[in-house]
Structure 1
Amino acid sequence: MCFQGRLELAMGEGASASKGVIDDNYLPPWDTWFAFLSQLPEARLLLAWIPEALSEWVQGAIEVGANHPIEWLDVVVTAEDLQPGDGWHEIQGELRTIWQHMSASNSS
């Protein structure tokens, strides 16, 4: 999931909808953060890994977010967005490496 909102726009409705997984500022728990992408001209994204067991609660926060501060990464970045030379290919490669590492850690 990625946080793409602005803290000053947070209204807190995501905290109760996610049973506290997402805080009043729509931030996921700090120990789930794994990347902050600031080099993109159109967005700054905080990426967080959400365990599958919590995804339903996070989805609840996504659905009530009036300003759409958080979203699943595959909704924000689609295959059509990936163009050579725009940085997304490099980010996709890094995310794939992180995902493989996290998947390997979880299966042990």
Structure 2
Amino acid sequence: MNLHDWIDELCDVLDIETEVDEGLVLDLARIAANDVQKTAAPITAYLLGVAVGSTDANPEAQEVLAAKAQALATRWDRPADAPDPDDIDDDVPDDRAVDHSGERFDEDE
């Protein structure tokens, strides 16, 4: 079975009717795998598909969306093993000696 047969069979199973530019998707996946990390490839391809489907993008618009994703992957400068800046545990100051009993916070209101 070749890739075209797989695409046809998969579309039948998923009950969708679409044309796939597999070269575009494969190029984008390769760039994401090389410039971001290997596991970014399928996620990037999936999200491109979501974007294409949600906007009902024509072939030219699909190329624009793929080019935007490719540009992001190409300029990605974080090593694959770098921690997410939002997940880094910052040092929390020791304020056990401070009395916070009368303080109110937005979440208390």
TM-score bracket for the superposition, by shorter chain length: under 0.3
| Structure number with higher relative contact order (C-alpha < 8 Å, ≥ 6 residues apart) | 1
> TM-score w.r.t. structure 1 length?
0.24
Q: Which has the higher strand share?
A: 1
Bigger radius of gyration, 1 or 2? Answer: 2
Q: TM-score, normalised by structure 2?
A: 0.24
